A and B are shown apart, each in its own frame.
Chain A
Amino acid sequence: MTGSRTAGTKVLIIGYGSPIRGDDAIGPLVADRLEREGVPYGVAVISRHILTAELVADLVEHDRVIFLDAAVDGPPGEVRCRQLAPDASAMSTMAHFLDPRELLAWCETLYGQVPETFLVSACGTSFDYANYSLTPDAEAAMEPMIERVRQLIAQPAPI
């Protein structure tokens, strides 16, 4: 899953969400499409149902990480991009799913380094169980998400 580094920035894209809960699947679906369409050398793409602890080992191997997720707090289909920072207070009381900011806090505490990290999200409206399709709004958000991810991939490396 880890791309080999050349002269460029080493980028990891992680789409996450449940594939059986409607719009929650948009993260992994966008990740899968990016992989199918092709990404530059040195860019790795993975899809996950949930974020788990061992991902920390992958994060610290990369200069830039782009998480892809669904959001619930905005106009349907709205695509947003924000930079994430480590936040240990985002800690889960359980251990089989983690917040991306907590994963970054693990990187910071354990390895003393944190990749430049972005969260690209699209607002969904339907998260029902046993729902295998995106709403039209979420479907329409896929292309802008991909475009935003490609911009982030092409962005110069952080100094």
Chain B
Amino acid sequence: MSRTLTIEPVTRIEGHARITLQLGDTGEVEDAKFHLTQFRGFEKFCEGRPYREMPALTARTCGICPVSHVIASNKACDHLLSVSIPPTGEKLRRIINLAQLTQSHALSFFHLSSPDLLLGWDADPATRNIFGVMRQDPALAKDGIRLRQIGQTIIETLGGKKIHPTWVVPGGVSEALTQEKRDAMLAMLPEGLDIAKRTYAFFKTLVPKFKDEASHFGNQPTMFLSLVTPKGNLEHYDGLLRIKDAQGRILEDMVPPHEYERLIGEAVEDFSYMKFPYYKPLGYPKGIYRVGPLARLNNVDACGTPYADVALAEFHMLQESGPIASSFHYHYARLVEIIYALEMMERLLKDPTILDARVRARARSNRYEGIGVSEAPRGILMHHYRIDDDGLVTWVNLIIATGHNNLAMNQSIRQVADAYVDGNNLQEGMLNRVEAVIRCFDPCLSCASHAFGEMPLAIELKDASGRVVDTLRRG
């Protein structure tokens, strides 16, 4: 008798989702799907609004990564204005973007994934949580809090508030940096870098224990999409598109982000409100690719900062050759990127022009279409607007980082389910592994699916007619 196993919601991620596993007559997994079942519709209700409202409106997509939307949205508005923003304005935007990456990656690693990594996937779910981590390794937990505090404090110092800052504006930023604020931010960074380096060193000792998970957690041949600098280095704010294939061959390089539609198509499926982007030349679903920290590190030739480049070299050694295929190593890549972000913020804050007063270009709209692309913590983020003669938005398309990974996440849960789930002997640890592979991607579903809902966890076993034959509840 075939059955459907439902995991809802998926825990310790940002937002709400459901996983269903279709089990065959003998308990083997026949299909696996990752569902986003609720809809928010930002693309529609932004229509008719003045384009200058878009950064504030779209930032409300998310309470955890609003800075990323603020950056991409303002870049789309820069494009509408047809302005080049002053260099200091750009550097300041880069700093707040990197602070966002630091706090977001810290949340993912220390708070969402460390219970699995430290306590094990099969640990008692009553203790496999942040309190379990605090008891097991209080120093690590304190480091996580402090690193997040540093990222959030820099966002607040620059943006005026932590959650929805309005300091980034079309044409640049609204206010120049003062020496007092610059010095306060610089004073925090050495401690942050110390934390990042010791966490990275600690995690390297854990990686060998997870060979099995690394083999089955989304260990799959896909392409990788990210921004890179004109020299092919790590880039989070601007740059050009690069796509590598699973063997490491560059398929697309130095493509201006405004040409994204030439490369990226978007499919829809009836089981999810999250779109399924794909690489157009290979079609759907063959054009599967991944974005985010793993893709960025796989795509670049170098990070461009000292410690991050050492860590990048070690990252490449996780596999004999080619791009790192296992999605489990998103965790590793995330830690490398925290090191990079802290080093780069220090470099930018020490730049002799960082206190310049000219931080904003002013103009009215000069074209009808604007595209803004940046790297959010979870991957490349695309905002695309069309406006009319009055500057009112007529059309919006948002391709969210988590959405780019949709095909890969679906494929990953199938792989984990095949490896670990026995429908005849259902164990909580099996299901936690299915959730854990999703946590590797650190999806932000509030952004990607525009989901909103409550958080009870129920795992239901249904027979072929949809009758519930067994239920597990958590929380």
Contacts and interface: CB of A to CB of B under 8 A. Distances in A.
Contact of A53 (B13, B145, B164, B457): B145
Given A48-B162, A95-B14, A54 B149 contact: yes
A54 B107 CA distance: 10
Contacts of A47: 161
Nearest to A95: B111
A93 B107 contact: no
B152 interface: yes
Contacts of B19: none
B163 A53 contact: no
A53 B9 contact: no
A21 to B, nearest CB: 11
B12 interface: yes
Nearest to B66: A49
Contacts of B64: 96
A137 B214 CA distance: 56
On chain B, which size bracket covers the interface? 20 to 34
A110 B63 contact: no
B231 interface: no
Interface in B104-125: 107, 111-112
B455 A97 contact: no
A53 B111 contact: yes
A154 interface: no
Interface string B9-38: 101111100000000000000000000000
B73 interface: no
B181 interface: no
B464 interface: no
Contacts of B15: 94
B212 to A, nearest CB: 26
A61 to B, nearest CB: 11
Given A49-B164, A52-B152, A53-B107, A109 B146 contact: no
B149 A57 contact: yes
Interface string A74-111: 00000000000000100111111100000001100110
A148 to B, nearest CB: 26
A106 to B, nearest CB: 7
Given A54-B152, A57-B146, A94 B134 contact: no
A48 B162 CA distance: 8
A56 interface: yes
A5 B145 CA distance: 23
Contacts of A157: none
A95 B63 contact: no
B135 interface: yes
B401 to A, nearest CB: 16
B207 interface: no
B452 to A, nearest CB: 10
Contacts of B131: 88, 91, 105-106, 109
A126 to B, nearest CB: 19
A94 B63 contact: no
A50 interface: yes
B329 interface: no
A113 to B, nearest CB: 13
Contacts of A50: 63, 163
A156 B80 CA distance: 58
B68 to A, nearest CB: 14
A97 B13 CA distance: 12
A99 to B, nearest CB: 12
A94 B162 contact: no
A125 B163 CA distance: 25
A80 to B, nearest CB: 25
The 6 A-B pairs with the shortest beta carbon distances in the complex, nearest first, are: A54-B149, A49-B163, A96-B64, A54-B148, A109-B134, A93-B11
Interface of B: 9, 11-15, 60, 63-64, 103, 107, 111-112, 129-131, 134-135, 138, 141-142, 144-146, 148-149, 152, 161-164, 455, 457, 475
17 contacts: A47-B161, A49-B63, A49-B163, A53-B107, A53-B148, A54-B145, A54-B146, A54-B148, A57-B145, A88-B131, A93-B11, A93-B12, A95-B112, A95-B130, A96-B14, A106-B130, A109-B135
